[in-house]
Amino acid sequence: MSALWTSDEIAAATGGAASGAFVVNAVTFDSREVEAGSLFLALKGEVTDGHRFVAKAYAAGAAGAIVSEPVDGPHVLVPDAMAALNALGTAARLRAPAKRVGVTGSVGKTGTKEALADALARGNKGAVHRSVKSYNNHTGVPLTLSRMPRDAAFGVFEMGMNHSGELAKLTQLVRPHVALVTTIAPAHIEYFGTEDKIADAKGEIFAGLEPGGTAIIPFDSPHRDRLIAAARPHAAHIVTFGRAAGADVTALEVIPKAEGTHIMARLPGAELSFTLSQPGDHWVSNALAVLAAVQAVGGDLAAAGLALADMAGLAGRGARHRVAVPSGGTALLLDESYNANSASMRATLSVLAGLPATRRIAVLGEMRELGAASEALHAELAGPVQQAGVSLAILVGNGMAPLARALAGICETVHVASADAALETLEGAMRDGDALLIKGSNAVGLSRIVNALTSGS
């Protein structure tokens, strides 16, 4: 297997000067991720300076570094390491033949990105490159690009934002052949004021489309026409997906099953019958978006259907665990602890409603970055909680106070200040046969509850 980068290639891409010859097979700016053969980027940030960790990176096996200050060890010296990362990402994009897909949206970015990468990989073993974790910002996107192998056939890139103009920059780095918007919801509305403005910011992804590119847009969204208007100047093809009959990619049949959902999908010129492993209406929508993207890049639809049937839940985004109950027996845990907004809360509460259980418990953390809409959006979750048949709601954080008031008389409710307090309450309340949903904004720290409950499983 050829090296990911040689020192000469790095120097040529970044305009830097190499201290000597070396080759690397991985790229990172986190010294904790360094492995043998890595390239370490010494980025300077507001809080710390990556040059402090160069020696640690070498000790962990780094084969070279990109630095803006002279160091002892193999390196490429550049004026600005962040600019060098962007340049390296651009060089990776230009040299690889990969068909690139950019994925954004208020909800479902990471899950859709993972499902799409798996769908493409099913028919192209080893030829698909993807963003890892949620590396979707101004550092994560160029890092993901810089890691793309020179012979990649497909690249799937998650792109996020919480301010206007951010996606415009990211999409110019990726230059996708296909740009996909999953959905629009009031995530980060504190910084935008209205959902229309969120839709406009998400629509920035279309401005980076390669000539002849495809825009994939949610047909059922109230912002559909706004997104289409944003795409029209840049996209040669606009494809919609959704449950309504007018969508280009839609579901002719949706049949819930004990494990997942059977779907008969209709696409332009094709039909596909498959079983989706992940439950919930939101995953039906995500799967239709995946199929639209697979078709747009010329992938294998039949292989995509097989991949969607085998897809496992992601940690923090739908993974399921059977956990021990302190008093004996087990409970089913649905881990949605990574993040939350009002749309994803409603979607996962509907999944909880369908889980087999003698009793349902929801541990819900406050939703952040909602601004003036926060009180109303939290209180409005009372209906979905009731519809899910929740017997006990454990609410975490000050922002959950409106929901605690709204749930009075609907179900038993405990409002606590921290994840640790929620864990203590939950451990005392769990019973054999319970189904547990754990979901909240990442900063609330509900993943600690998941880790504590699953550590012995």
pLDDT value of position 457: 47
pLDDT value of position 311: 87
Q: Give residue 190's pLDDT band: very low, low, confident or very high (50, 70, 90).
A: confident
Q: Round to whole Å and give the CA distance between 457 and 447.
A: 15
Element at 434 (helix H, strand E): strand 434-439
Q: Round to whole Å and give the CA distance between 367 and 38.
A: 37
DSSP helix/strand/coil, 103: strand
Q: What are the structure tokens assigned to 453, written together?
A: 């409950």
SS3 content of the chain, % helix, strand, coil (to 5): 40, 25, 35
Average pLDDT value for residue range 31-50: 94
Q: Round to whole Å and give the CA distance between 99 and 108.
A: 21
Residue 108 falls in which region: left (phi positive, over 0), alpha (psi -120 to 50) or beta? left
pLDDT value of position 27: 97
Contact (CB, 8 A) for 291 and 266: no
Q: Round to whole Å and give the CA distance between 291 and 268.
A: 11
Inform me whether the pLDDT recorded for 106 exceeds 90. Answer: no
Residue 280 falls in which region: left (phi positive, over 0), alpha (psi -120 to 50) or beta? left
Average pLDDT value for residue range 251-269: 91
Q: Give residue 456's pLDDT band: very low, low, confident or very high (50, 70, 90).
A: low
Residues facing residue 130 across a β-bridge? 156
Average pLDDT value for residue range 345-368: 93
Ranges 59-63, 104-108, 207-211: which has the least confidence: 104-108
Contact (CB, 8 A) for 65 and 41: yes
DSSP secondary structure letter of residue 44: B
Burial of 284 (0-12, 13-18, 19+ CB in 10 A): buried
Q: Which residue has the tokens 């929508």?
A: 285
Residue 332 falls in which region: left (phi positive, over 0), alpha (psi -120 to 50) or beta? beta
CA separation, residue 411 to residues 365, 416, 420 (Å): 17, 16, 22
pLDDT value of position 188: 67
Q: Round to whole Å and give the CA distance between 124 and 93.
A: 19
CA 43 to chain centre: 24
Element at 9 (helix H, strand E): helix 7-14
Q: Give residue 161's pLDDT band: very low, low, confident or very high (50, 70, 90).
A: confident
Residue count of the chain, please give it: 457
Tell me the percentage of the chain whose pLDDT exceeds 90: 81
Q: Round to whole Å and give the CA distance between 12 and 404.
A: 58
pTM of the model: 0.84
Q: For 207-223, what is each residue's pLDDT tens digit?
A: 999 999 999 999 999 99
